[in-house]
Chain A
């Protein structure tokens, strides 16, 4: 008999109702055929035929039913276009937000790095107390690279160079890499060659590799450019190759745009390695076969311990060590927490949208109860009815997903405003196949969620009871709808709290005093090539003439320059001795971020003077050496005292011995490293007296700051002309208004605030509709009760109060649950907050207030409708 059993099992390929109608008949026929078979061959051919029949007919029948269900669902949507519109829009917003978030997650987190075997790549950092990841100095990198056996190490640094290639001079981003960098990364150039071992030796013939973007933009993608030459900082360089746009250098998040040109990083391997300061190199490596991050870390710990014994004075920072970690972790930076926070918020919006549509479908289920009951009574299989209902919700969700892709494209534009600094590779996010597949799967899951609840509910009560017009199931359905509304309110509270926190944090951040006056200030970066400006004398003379010319332009109130620019260009720190204060355990008594400034810089930015004087034209190389400090330096290093007149001496690595400098002035603090971070100690060196800690290094790149009487951008052409008049090969880069510099420094926070605010507003709207829907339905259902109450003498006020109280009960319950959930949830978005604690009471209170107000509005409308019930009509209605 087992043949029949097998056959019965195979019948499951057919739709359920088909099987129910004819399954036993088919089994019987199959049985009889085999019974009457004469030969073994007959039996085999009966099996084959039966199997083929089932395999061909099963899918066809399923498809036909599905098409029928879909046609039926479409008819339903056409009958109630308002319902379809609301449901599709709601789902489109939820699904669209999630599609965009997934596109970002996919581009930033999920895609492997564009290198060969990226999981074998590591980043190598120094670390010491207070600096979890510090760059490497030349001697450190060379020692690590020469001694490490578990990995091949390469180094990278960035800068900016002036390039002349077919046309105007242009200031572009440059990457400097050791010759082995492309081998370590496993990257082949798009055309030409990569760097070769001889290229990074000091004194080698100058070569340059162009990035694809630069090659196309400036040279029209001309293949003959390879082998030709371009001028980099005034020196002709041979173009040896082009690097594909997809294989950018592994720069850290937060670094500015990727490089336009790549130059060999010439490290002097023969130089003495006893001076080990000057940390500016990023190092990355490829693990040797058999090595792991752990084994490489162990090896590096041994190497560092040996070096620390060899150069004890140069490892004076607390707990000096080396960190080896996977390169992708390194490059992702803060992207993971930001994306997880935004992704969770988007998922909650979808949950809310799903609950809303489920509620709509439940409400519609009421009106279709009899229709479903009739169909069930006519013998439609339960499964078939369930599928019918799910087909409807699937159709809604798929329409929602299609419209949602438009929403996603728009969200994505917003997201890419976060920029590579926050989300590396976000610019490469696209609504490609992975996003489409994700969205399709998500919309099916959504359909199952928002269609499943009402479908099961409709089926459970779809039987005889409904035909009789009974109301027993109403209680259950109302409970489900109330539960959904409460859940919506609770989710909305969480999202509103998040929105209040992120927006509040951004608002506070925008109000943080910068310490300078950014109005009517033009800034431009000017950088001098070494070939035509080899020393301090040439550089100072250039900037003196430039500032003199610019200051004389009509409409200019004051002009100056600095090696940095607040909120845009920051420097590292520089240690120094303080006269009369000995080093402890070899540690310098002072350290501060350092900038080179010209006279007029502080005045142009309206940075106030606290003590002493500002830099003056008399601070020349032959005058007594002076230095200026900010208030933070004064307060931390000379607490309670006026430091003017005290002397400090900066450290030197390969550069000349530094002189003692007298502190000549104290200036106000500026939030140089971002509005969200407190001012660092800073020192300012007059540009005429500058001596770098490394041999041969000058402050060649300075940012001009020009205070104008009118619109600062109007001055830009005159500024460029002044520059051209002195040296036509020098471009003015990043010509910006200082107010724009300040705004740009918080642009990613603005995008976060916009996104989370939009999600919060959406949530509020959806939850309000949810509460409103439940109450209106309740009022409609209780028309008779309202009539009776009025007939018994209840006033309109009583009725109003009755409905509003019910609404506020719903809202209040949701609010309580939501606030409880928001407490732990808020901690999860701390990555999006700078100036607020995640449990800021004001944010919680304002979210609660807004929600209660919305709940009140959602209750008053149905309540007023309830008061308009005519008792006579209501009593006659049943």
Chain B
């Protein structure tokens, strides 16, 4: 995939969260869903249809791929499908994060972000 990652931007919050969930390794659908909900404190909750629309789109665009490898079969159901970020997908996630960072920078410069101590 030599396409410009920026062509997919901006991503929806759901899409971005799926990429973040897959950033540290491959996951199956339910795991992605749980991770997104946990990480966003329930702010982004995906329904199965929404999740798989994102997954389908990402697979078609080459952002994520289905893995052939499975974790220990004893721990897992063989019918599950696992997804991982492709190198192109990593670029897409990076591009989106940079875009958001740039936007945040601008907002901060205009003092639009209250000074809150991050825990």
* Minimal beta-carbon separation of B49 from chain A (angstroms): 4
Interface residue? A119 (CB, 8 A)? no
In the complex, the answer to whether B48 meets A30 with C-beta atoms within 8 Å is: yes
Interface residue? A413 (CB, 8 A)? no
A471 / chain B contacts, CB cutoff of 8 Å:
none
Instruction: State the CA gap A58–B47 with chains docked (Å).
Output: 13
* Minimal beta-carbon separation of A86 from chain B (angstroms): 36
B52 / chain A contacts, CB cutoff of 8 Å:
18, 22, 25-26, 29
B115 / chain A contacts, CB cutoff of 8 Å:
none
In the complex, the answer to whether B47 meets A54 with C-beta atoms within 8 Å is: yes
* Known contacts A22-B52, A57-B53, A61-B53; A50/B30 CB under 8 A: no
Partner of B33, one of A14, A33, A52, A61: A33
Instruction: State the CA gap A32–B52 with chains docked (Å).
Output: 15
Partner of A52, one of B47, B55, B80: B47
In the complex, the answer to whether A29 meets B55 with C-beta atoms within 8 Å is: no
Interface residue? A21 (CB, 8 A)? yes
Interface residue? B99 (CB, 8 A)? no
Instruction: State the CA gap A54–B47 with chains docked (Å).
Output: 8
Closest to A10 in B: B49
A554 / chain B contacts, CB cutoff of 8 Å:
none
CB within 8 Å of A: which B20-77 residues:
29-30, 33-34, 45-53, 55-56
In the complex, the answer to whether B33 meets A29 with C-beta atoms within 8 Å is: yes
* Minimal beta-carbon separation of A320 from chain B (angstroms): 78
Interface residue? A53 (CB, 8 A)? yes
Closest to A55 in B: B49
Chain B: residues with Cβ within 8 Å of the partner, total of 18
B80 / chain A contacts, CB cutoff of 8 Å:
28
Interface residue? B108 (CB, 8 A)? no
* Minimal beta-carbon separation of A734 from chain B (angstroms): 74
* Minimal beta-carbon separation of B66 from chain A (angstroms): 10
* Known contacts A18-B56, A21-B56, A22-B52; A28/B47 CB under 8 A: no
B47 / chain A contacts, CB cutoff of 8 Å:
49-54
The listed residue with most B CB atoms (<10 A of its CB), out of A24, A53, A54, is A53
* Known contacts A22-B56, A25-B81; A33/B30 CB under 8 A: yes
Instruction: State the CA gap A827–B105 with chains docked (Å).
Output: 86
CB within 8 Å of B: which A44-69 residues:
49-54, 56-58, 61
Closest to A14 in B: B49
CB within 8 Å of B: which A4-27 residues:
14, 18, 21-22, 24-27
In the complex, the answer to whether A25 meets B29 with C-beta atoms within 8 Å is: yes
In the complex, the answer to whether A50 meets B56 with C-beta atoms within 8 Å is: no
Instruction: State the CA gap A33–B55 with chains docked (Å).
Output: 18
* Known contacts A21-B56, A22-B55; A50/B49 CB under 8 A: yes
Closest to B32 in A: A29
Main secondary structure of the interface of A (DSSP, over half): helix
Instruction: State the CA gap A50–B51 with chains docked (Å).
Output: 10
* Minimal beta-carbon separation of A26 from chain B (angstroms): 4
* Known contacts A50-B47, A50-B49, A57-B49; A32/B30 CB under 8 A: yes
* Minimal beta-carbon separation of B117 from chain A (angstroms): 32
* Minimal beta-carbon separation of B83 from chain A (angstroms): 10
In the complex, the answer to whether A54 meets B49 with C-beta atoms within 8 Å is: yes
A26 / chain B contacts, CB cutoff of 8 Å:
29, 48-49, 51-52
Instruction: State the CA gap A25–B49 with chains docked (Å).
Output: 10
* Minimal beta-carbon separation of A142 from chain B (angstroms): 77
B81 / chain A contacts, CB cutoff of 8 Å:
25
CB within 8 Å of A: which B60-118 residues:
79-81
* Minimal beta-carbon separation of A381 from chain B (angstroms): 14
B50 / chain A contacts, CB cutoff of 8 Å:
53, 56-57
* Minimal beta-carbon separation of A68 from chain B (angstroms): 12
Instruction: State the CA gap A180–B45 with chains docked (Å).
Output: 73
Instruction: State the CA gap A33–B80 with chains docked (Å).
Output: 15
In the complex, the answer to whether B56 meets A49 with C-beta atoms within 8 Å is: no
In the complex, the answer to whether B48 meets A53 with C-beta atoms within 8 Å is: yes
Instruction: State the CA gap A582–B10 with chains docked (Å).
Output: 107
In the complex, the answer to whether A29 meets B56 with C-beta atoms within 8 Å is: no
Instruction: State the CA gap A29–B55 with chains docked (Å).
Output: 13
In the complex, the answer to whether B53 meets A28 with C-beta atoms within 8 Å is: no
Instruction: State the CA gap A25–B45 with chains docked (Å).
Output: 17
Instruction: State the CA gap A53–B44 with chains docked (Å).
Output: 13
Instruction: State the CA gap A25–B56 with chains docked (Å).
Output: 12
B29 / chain A contacts, CB cutoff of 8 Å:
25-26, 28-29
* Minimal beta-carbon separation of A197 from chain B (angstroms): 72
B45 / chain A contacts, CB cutoff of 8 Å:
49
A50 / chain B contacts, CB cutoff of 8 Å:
47-49
Instruction: State the CA gap A786–B75 with chains docked (Å).
Output: 69
A49 / chain B contacts, CB cutoff of 8 Å:
45, 47
B34 / chain A contacts, CB cutoff of 8 Å:
36
B33 / chain A contacts, CB cutoff of 8 Å:
29, 33
The listed residue with most A CB atoms (<10 A of its CB), out of B34, B47, B55, B80, is B47
Instruction: State the CA gap A57–B81 with chains docked (Å).
Output: 22
Partner of B49, one of A21, A36, A53: A53
Instruction: State the CA gap A14–B51 with chains docked (Å).
Output: 13
* Minimal beta-carbon separation of B93 from chain A (angstroms): 22
A33 / chain B contacts, CB cutoff of 8 Å:
30, 33, 48
The listed residue with most B CB atoms (<10 A of its CB), out of A28, A56, A57, is A28
B79 / chain A contacts, CB cutoff of 8 Å:
24, 28
Closest to A53 in B: B47
A21 / chain B contacts, CB cutoff of 8 Å:
56
* Minimal beta-carbon separation of A349 from chain B (angstroms): 45
Instruction: State the CA gap A874–B84 with chains docked (Å).
Output: 56
Closest to B77 in A: A28
Closest to A31 in B: B30
In the complex, the answer to whether B53 meets A29 with C-beta atoms within 8 Å is: no
* Minimal beta-carbon separation of A98 from chain B (angstroms): 41
A56 / chain B contacts, CB cutoff of 8 Å:
49-50
* Minimal beta-carbon separation of B73 from chain A (angstroms): 17
The listed residue with most A CB atoms (<10 A of its CB), out of B53, B79, B80, B81, is B53
Closest to A51 in B: B47
B55 / chain A contacts, CB cutoff of 8 Å:
22
A61 / chain B contacts, CB cutoff of 8 Å:
53
The listed residue with most A CB atoms (<10 A of its CB), out of B48, B53, B79, is B48
Closest to A26 in B: B48
Instruction: State the CA gap A134–B69 with chains docked (Å).
Output: 94
A58 / chain B contacts, CB cutoff of 8 Å:
49
14 example contacts (A-B, Cβ-Cβ < 8 A) are as follows A22-B52, A24-B79, A26-B49, A27-B48, A50-B47, A50-B49, A51-B47, A53-B47, A53-B48, A53-B50, A56-B49, A56-B50, A57-B49, A61-B53
Chain A positions within 8 Å of B, measured between CB atoms, are 14, 18, 21-22, 24-30, 32-33, 36, 49-54, 56-58, 61
Closest 4 CB pairs of A and B: A53-B47, A53-B49, A26-B48, A22-B52
Known: A25-B48, A51-B47, A61-B53. 13 other contacts (CB 8 A): A21-B56, A22-B52, A22-B56, A26-B51, A28-B79, A29-B48, A29-B52, A36-B34, A50-B48, A50-B49, A53-B47, A53-B50, A57-B50
